[in-house]
Amino acid sequence: IAVHCLGDEATLRRWLVYDPRQRVQGWRFASYMLLHSNALHLALNVVIQLVLATPLEVEQGRIGVATIYLGGGVCGALGASLLQPSLFLVGASAGVYALLTSHLAHLYLCHGELRYAGWRLGAVLLLASADVASLPIPALLGCGRVGWAAHVAGALAGPLLGLAVFPNQSKKDARGRRFVRFVRLLSAISVMLLVVGAILGNIYLIALPQLRKPS
């Protein structure tokens, strides 16, 4: 279940939007996902979430999918805070990207038991390619800047989080359970290091230098 709000109410925007000037308010790295700039933005994200998350929930469970969705959103905001440090963020696109690319982890873990695995992989690559190709469109139409850094960070987080949290894997796995456990552990450590690094980057590269500037 995903809860969304259209981002028209001033009070909601003030408290939930990711505002780079208020990056010390940690909840904004997740709460921005509840806001959307317009009805089309909201509808696209909800529809894509349903398409991507439903098969994952059936095959990997709700908790894992929810973790990837929220974790992808947080990672997206962290990525944007470093690579596009002046950009305000609304929307759940980073979480949606994480859901999309987490299918790669799902295909890896359950490769021997999934039906139509090749078609699934093709669909993931096709959706990712189409979305990347559409990134310049809002700027060309004069609709404002696109949070490409959030999209990229969410997409990178998806497979890593999927490998770390998805509970199910192929019982016919000839590669050995030890190797899969190693891959899972490596993915979990990578996510933690990237998140900690992004937090430290926000503190030491952006927040502290701003505080030291003369008023």
- For this structure, is 190 an active site residue? no
19 Cα distance to chain centroid:
18
Residue 180 is encoded by which pair of tokens?
Answer: 């899969």
- For this structure, is 151 an active site residue? yes
Closest by Cα among 132, 161, 160, 159 to 148 = 132
The single residue listed with the structure tokens 């944007």 is 80
Asked if 2 contacts 49 with a C-beta cutoff of 8 angstroms, the reply is yes
Q: Which of 31, 81, 93, 102 is catalytic?
A: 93
Q: Which of 41, 103, 106, 151 is catalytic?
A: 151
- Cα(93)–Cα(97) distance, integer angstroms: 6
For the annotated catalytic residues, the residue numbers are 93, 151
